[in-house]
Amino acid sequence: MANKNKGEVSFEANERSYTMRFSANALCELEDVLNMGVNDVAEQMSKPKNLRIKTVRGIFWAGLRDHHPEITIQKAGDIIQDISLPRCLELIGKAFNLAFQDSTKVRPQQPGSVVPATTDAIDGTGLHS
């Protein structure tokens, strides 16, 4: 069963349960297979009109690596075929959002810059102490 606190998303395909997660290791696999950084991947995902199926398959495969290291990239494509491309994109979106949910908590420190929201959580600590 998936643990949302760990960024996991579960789904069924071919009468089998799968768990997707974009951990640090999975993101490294993703960068390697697509030969691009995570920010570039996220940018491409935000423009589905120009998104390549090969890119989607690589993202999907990388997200399965933590829990299903035996799955080849071709097998990931077979799973996508079974669940449908729209469902695949939905799962990737959920898992990506869970993986990066804390990184959206930023606040402006100075014009043009952002710092994590927790830098001043404790008096006497942070960037300007």
What secondary structure, in 3-state letters, does the chain show? CCCHHHCCEEEEECCEEEEECCCHHHHHHHHHHHCCCHHHHHHHHCCHHHCCHHHHHHHHHHHHCCCCCCCCHHHHHHHHHHHCHHHHHHHHHHHHHHHCCHHHCEEECCCCCEEECCCCCCCCCCCCC
75: in domain: yes
**Residues of the domain holding 98:** 4-116
CA 114/CA 29 separation, integer angstroms: 28
Domain assignment of residue 125, yes or no: no
The structure's pTM equals 0.75
Using the predicted structure, report yes or no on whether residue 122 has a pLDDT greater than 70.
no
Answer yes or no: are the C-beta atoms of 48 and 89 closer than 8 Å.
Answer: yes
Whether residue 122 lies inside any domain: the answer is no
With contact defined as beta carbons under 8 Å apart, do 117 and 107 qualify? yes
- Determine, yes or no, domain membership for 81: yes
Q: Return the pLDDT at 2.
A: 62
Please give the pLDDT value at position 50: 82
Per-residue pLDDT for 75 more than 90?
A: yes
**What would the pLDDT profile of 77-120 be if each residue is shown by its tens digit?**
999 999 999 999 999 999 988 988 765 443 334 443 333 333 33
Identify whether 124 is part of a domain. Answer: no
Say if 128 falls within a structural domain: no
Average pLDDT on 62-90 reads 96
Please report how many Cα atoms fall inside a 13 Å half-sphere around the Cα of residue 20, on the Cβ side.
27
Residue 126 resides in a domain: no
Q: What is the Cα–Cα distance from 15 to 18, expressed in whole angstroms?
A: 10
Residue 73 belongs to a domain: yes
Number of domains within the chain: 1
